Amino acid sequence: MRIGIDLGGTKIEGIAIDGDGRERLRRRIAAPRGDYRRTLDAIAGLVRDIERAIGVRATVGVGIPGTISPSTGLVRNANSTWLIGEPLADDLPRLLERPVRFANDANCFALSEASDGAAAGAHVVFGVIVGTGCGGGVVVRGEVVAGANGVAGEWGHNPMPAPRDDERPGPSCYCGRRGCIEQFLSGPALARDYRSAGGAAATAAEIAERAAGGEALAAGALSRYEERMARALGSVINLLDPDVIVLGGGLSNIERLYDRVPQLWAPYVFSDRIDTRLVRALHGDSSGVRGAAWLWDAQ
């Protein structure tokens, strides 16, 4: 049995998956925001609670918002800021008296979809979460590629490729740079683009709805969004040449992306033929917690 834990900013979710990939149990608790010690205890309590219910000791994988630094072993880049600089990768294995595997939540997403989701069976998978931010993860032959610096797949903070004049230098990003892909492809970025073209305040989902209803401003914003996604993913195809690119997060629900973006990415790809498929995540919001469980494979 494998236990996956998804450590979120507001909730901590746990799941037990058996050897056949079937979900046996799922529990969700509120995250002790702002308190690292209580977060540790909450995770350990959740694991023990699940093990009592399933009756066996299991492997434990944890998806975190951020990464464990390969050089210091400490949490970094986490938007749950109370985790930053903490030795989670030492403390949790000690508390649980077993090795624990950790991965970034976007990597867990990619692993879940590559294991038994929309990209099952594909050799090279690029998983993208487009929501409040824009994260990415790489899975090759069923294994997460973490990378020498622990940032493989962190494509959202690359500059937007082939920027147009009106995209330079681009919006400021919290990472300290300007014109990051995230500043064009996240939900807030789409909403900002729509507003700056004269649209009213609206969420990404509302903009997609208005575009479907024939509103010209919304259709324009969505067309610009698709063209930008095509450029951004075209550079991913050149570098990684994935069999499948899986989209998750709130914006992955915009159905027309799956037709339009692949029609637009050819000019940015150095190949006369593109077989990469762009697909929507199968497991939706569950991909993070499922991928954490998959950090320990079936053997």
Contact positions toward Zn ion, by CB under 5 A? 157, 173, 175, 177, 180
| 103, 92 Cβ separation under 8 angstroms | no
Give the whole-angstrom CA distance, residue 160 versus residue 53.
48
The least CB distance from residue 18 to Zn ion, in Å, is 39
The least CB distance from residue 169 to Zn ion, in Å, is 12
> Which of residues 157 and 283 has its CB atom nearest to Zn ion in the complex?
157
> Which of residues 157 and 260 has its CB atom nearest to Zn ion in the complex?
157
The least CB distance from residue 174 to Zn ion, in Å, is 7
Residue with tokens 């569950």: 286
SS3 call for 30: strand
Q: What's the helix, strand, coil split of the chain in %, to 5? A: 40, 20, 35
What sign does the CA torsion over 12, 290, 286, 278 have? positive
Give the whole-angstrom CA distance, residue 216 versus residue 199.
10
> Which of residues 175 and 274 has its CB atom nearest to Zn ion in the complex?
175
> Which of residues 157 and 228 has its CB atom nearest to Zn ion in the complex?
157
Exposure string for 14-43, b = 16+ CB within 10 A, e = fewer: bbbbbeeeeeebebeeebbeeebeebbebb
> Which of residues 180 and 247 has its CB atom nearest to Zn ion in the complex?
180
The least CB distance from residue 173 to Zn ion, in Å, is 3
The least CB distance from residue 77 to Zn ion, in Å, is 11
